[in-house]
């Protein structure tokens, strides 16, 4: 039982980080109608910038500037490429983002080389015990920060002018434009927010129990994609639920891998995709996705 | 004043939707544009509101001016800030947003909070039912209420000129009458209106001036009341055979039966 609760808590903390990434993925889809595969390299860019900058600038400034760099990179991708391709088929746009992702990823891997960069988190690698349940301090702080950010995001999405503009243009872009909403600005802001959320996720992903910055951080974003898709690609609530679901199932599958040995080692790594496929077989548009995504 | 001068618009470089149309919407007036499907009415509104490009349309020649400003290269958001707001055909309300959020979305073009609060009061005064339903999702409103919301949403930007694209589409005759009264009231409060319609009875009832579009060209124009008496308009748009029986004409129009050259 203790083991179960411990795995559950760790799964939730991992899921909260996935949810941050998946939320960005979803709002980009809503605002720009692009399935953006740039998130993997944006995440790695965030991790790399924070690691490189926290030595000269100190941890806090380094983290803030690193997150800002990630947001800026997302904005540049949107302004330079996505905004100019408005109206292109969704598939072409998705392939374009894969191209951008590969270019950025290749450069980052070249820069990182075979080093493992460390981010000097002031909370270190220690862990906290709540009763019998243990969790790393880094993951605990990540859960709290992610929870606060996600709550702020939902409040802004529901009540702010940005949120109303965003939801209106996601539902009917042409009519939103007729009402004076600037679609380009809504889309740019969505990318900035998504970039910043990826930066925050990166900050916590490279701390305990993960050993520092290495290109494997990239694969974490790949696990946030199924989170966004099984929640429903156009549902922000779905991204949150999807993130938690993936995080918890991954954590449980890794934790109980001795009992699951008949499936082979490393089963935890494939669980996100198995969960995604299982959910989509039952609900093809995801748990909370709109049934009909195309308008007639 | 909105003035359109010998406007030519094509889609995809091939289809000529509007061919040499000239018209004027004087300040403070209601101007009706009548015509069947494919006459170029919607294209005309798209040109004014700056959404032509979204439909791969292009202005080949001619100009659209609002006051002193050429609207040629404006995008939709700039057009709204100049005071021209379009209510799109088929209402196109944001179904997943609440009524109140729909109205907020309508005011997004301006930052003036006081003006928006005033506009919202005016909308709720014109359409009390929207106030009652302010927390409901747009999709749950009836057709008539959705049209009221679409008009109210456009009024949130405090337009100088309101462009209406077939507000009577798919509505019951009694509701169409109400829409006509609302248009007249909006105009009394100082907003000019360009009303594009297939329902000629309602349109000619509220309009000061009217134009008849026929396959991309203006075939008739003039004072709305005089135009309603001409044989051609009576026959083609008022479903009337020209013997001057007004009661007969109204019932025919109200029952939605209108003859037109292409469907008859």
B104–A182 CB contact, under 8 Å: no
Q: Residue A206 in contact with residue A213, Cβ under 8 Å?
A: yes
What are phi and psi for residue A113, nearest 5 degrees? Answer: 60, -140
Q: Search chain A and give the residue with CA nearest B80.
A: A180
Rounded (10°) angle between helices B143-155 and B99-106? 30
What are phi and psi for residue A287, nearest 5 degrees? Answer: -65, -45
List CB contacts (< 8 A) between B146 and chain A. Answer: none
Choosing among B77, B119, B150, which should be mutated to test the A contact, i.e. which has the most A CBs within 10 A? B77
- State both tokens at A60: 């806090």
- State both tokens at A134: 């243990």
Cα separation of B52 and B44, whole Å?
Answer: 9
Residue-by-residue pLDDT tens, chain A, 296 positions: 788 898 999 999 999 999 999 999 999 998 988 999 999 999 999 999 999 998 899 999 999 999 999 999 999 999 999 988 887 888 999 999 999 999 999 999 999 887 778 888 888 778 888 878 888 888 999 999 999 999 999 999 999 999 999 999 999 989 999 999 999 999 999 999 999 999 999 999 888 777 778 878 888 888 888 999 998 888 899 999 999 999 999 999 888 877 777 777 777 788 889 999 999 999 888 888 876 544 33
Position A241 in a domain? no
Domain span at residue A205 reads 2-214
Position A289 in a domain? no
List CB contacts (< 8 A) between A161 and chain B. Answer: 104, 108
List CB contacts (< 8 A) between A180 and chain B. Answer: 76-77, 80-81, 85, 106, 108-110, 157
- State both tokens at B208: 């000061």
Going by C-alpha positions, the residue among A176, A227, A223 that lies closest to residue A26 is: A227
Cα separation of A10 and A252, whole Å?
Answer: 9
Pairing state between β B57-66 and B69-70: antiparallel
Q: Which of A87, A172, A180 sits opposite B92 (nearest CB)?
A: A172
Q: How far is A235 from chain B (nearest CA, A)?
A: 12
B54–A172 CB contact, under 8 Å: no
Position A156 in a domain? yes
Position A292 in a domain? no
List CB contacts (< 8 A) between A165 and chain B. Answer: 105, 108
Position A192 in a domain? yes
Q: Residue A162 in contact with residue A189, Cβ under 8 Å?
A: yes
> Which residues are CB-neighbours of B132 under 8 A, at least 6 positions away?
none
Cα separation of B149 and B151, whole Å?
Answer: 5
Dump the DSSP string for chain B. -EEEEEEEEEETTTEEEEEEEEEEE-TT-EEEEE--TTSSHHHHHHHHHT-GGGGTEEEEEEEEEETTEE-TT--HHHHHHTTEEEE-TT----TTSBHHHHHHHHTTT---HHHHHHHHHHHHHH-HHHHHTTTSBGGGS-HHHHHHHHHHHHHTT--SEEEEE-TTTT--HHHHHHHHHHHHHHHHTT-EEEEEES-HHHHHHH-SEEEEEETTEEEEEEEHHHHHHSHHHHHHTS---SS--HHHHHHHHHTT----TTT-
Cβ-Cβ pairs closer than 8 A, A with B, add up to 72
B153–A179 CB contact, under 8 Å: yes
Going by C-alpha positions, the residue among A209, A229, A251 that lies closest to residue A36 is: A229
List CB contacts (< 8 A) between A175 and chain B. Answer: 88, 92, 94
Q: How far is B94 from chain A (nearest CA, A)?
A: 6
Position A29 in a domain? yes
Position A47 in a domain? yes
B104–A174 CB contact, under 8 Å: no
> Considering its fold, how many domains does chain A have in total?
1
Look at the block and give the residue holding tokens 């309602």: B202
3-state helix, strand, coil split of chain A in percent (to 5) is 75, 5, 25
pLDDT digits (tens, 9 = 90+) for B219-238: 888 898 888 888 877 877 77
Position A239 in a domain? no
Q: Which of B97, B102, B109 sits opposite A180 (nearest CB)?
A: B109
pTM, to two decimals: 0.86
B86–A178 CB contact, under 8 Å: yes
Cα separation of A271 and A223, whole Å?
Answer: 9
A180–B154 CB contact, under 8 Å: no
Q: How far is A175 from chain B (nearest CA, A)?
A: 7
Cα separation of B103 and A181, whole Å?
Answer: 13
């Amino acid at each position: 039982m203790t083991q179960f609760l411990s795995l559950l808590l760790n799964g939730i903390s991992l899921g909260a980080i996935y949810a941050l990434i998946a939320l960005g993925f979803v709002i980009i889809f809503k605002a720009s109608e692009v399935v953006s595969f740039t998130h993997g390299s944006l995440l790695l860019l965030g991790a790399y910038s924070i690691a490189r900058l926290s030595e000269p600038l100190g941890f806090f400034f380094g983290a803030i500037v690193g997150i800002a760099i990630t947001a800026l990179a997302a904005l540049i991708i949107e302004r330079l490429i996505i905004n100019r391709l408005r109206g292109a088929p969704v598939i072409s746009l998705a392939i374009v983002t894969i191209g951008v992702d590969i270019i950025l990823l290749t450069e980052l891997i070249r820069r990182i080389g075979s080093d493992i960069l460390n981010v000097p988190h002031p909370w270190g690698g220690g862990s906290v015990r709540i009763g019998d349940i243990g969790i790393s301090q880094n993951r605990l702080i990540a859960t709290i920060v992610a929870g606060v950010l996600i709550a702020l995001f939902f409040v802004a999405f529901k009540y702010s002018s940005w949120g109303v503009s965003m939801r209106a243009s996601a539902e009917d872009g042409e009519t939103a434009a007729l009402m004076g909403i600037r679609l380009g600005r809504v889309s740019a802001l969505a990318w900035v927010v998504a970039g910043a959320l990826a930066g925050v996720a990166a900050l916590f992903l490279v701390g305990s129990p993960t050993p520092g910055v290495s290109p494997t951080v990239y694969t974490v974003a790949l696990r946030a994609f199924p989170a966004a898709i099984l929640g429903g690609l156009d549902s922000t609530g779905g991204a949150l639920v999807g993130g938690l679901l993936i995080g918890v199932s991954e954590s449980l599958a890794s934790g109980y891998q001795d009992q699951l040995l008949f499936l082979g080692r490393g089963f935890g790594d494939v669980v996100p995709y198995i969960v995604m496929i299982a959910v989509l077989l039952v609900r093809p548009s995801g748990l909370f996705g709109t049934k009909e995504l195309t308008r007639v | 004043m909105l003035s359109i001068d010998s406007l030519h618009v094509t889609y995809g470089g091939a289809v000529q939707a509007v061919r040499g149309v000239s018209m004027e919407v004087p300040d403070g007036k209601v101007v009706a544009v009548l015509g069947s499907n494919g006459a170029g009415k919607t294209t005309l509104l798209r040109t004014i509101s700056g959404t032509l490009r979204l439909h791969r349309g292009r202005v080949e020649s001619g100009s659209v001016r609002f006051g002193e400003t050429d609207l040629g290269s404006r995008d939709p958001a700039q057009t709204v800030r100049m005071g021209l707001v379009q209510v799109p055909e088929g209402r196109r309300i944001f179904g997943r947003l609440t009524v109140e959020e729909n109205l907020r979305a309508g005011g997004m073009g301006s930052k003036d909070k006081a003006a928006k609060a005033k506009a919202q009061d005016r909308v709720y005064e014109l359409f009390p039912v929207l106030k009652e339903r302010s927390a409901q999702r747009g999709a749950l409103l009836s057709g008539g209420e959705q049209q009221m919301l679409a008009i109210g949403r456009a009024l949130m930007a405090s337009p100088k000129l309101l462009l209406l694209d077939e507000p009577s589409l798919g509505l019951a005759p009694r509701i169409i009458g109400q829409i006509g009264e609302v248009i007249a009231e909006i105009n009394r409060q100082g907003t000019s209106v360009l009303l594009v319609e297939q329902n000629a009875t309602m349109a000619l009832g509220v309009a000061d001036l009217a134009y008849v579009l026929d396959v991309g060209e203006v075939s008739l124009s003039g004072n709305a009341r005089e135009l309603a008496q001409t044989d051609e308009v009576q026959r083609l748009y008022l479903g009337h055979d020209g013997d001057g029986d007004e009661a007969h004409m109204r019932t025919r129009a109200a029952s939605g039966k209108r003859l037109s050259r292409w469907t008859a």
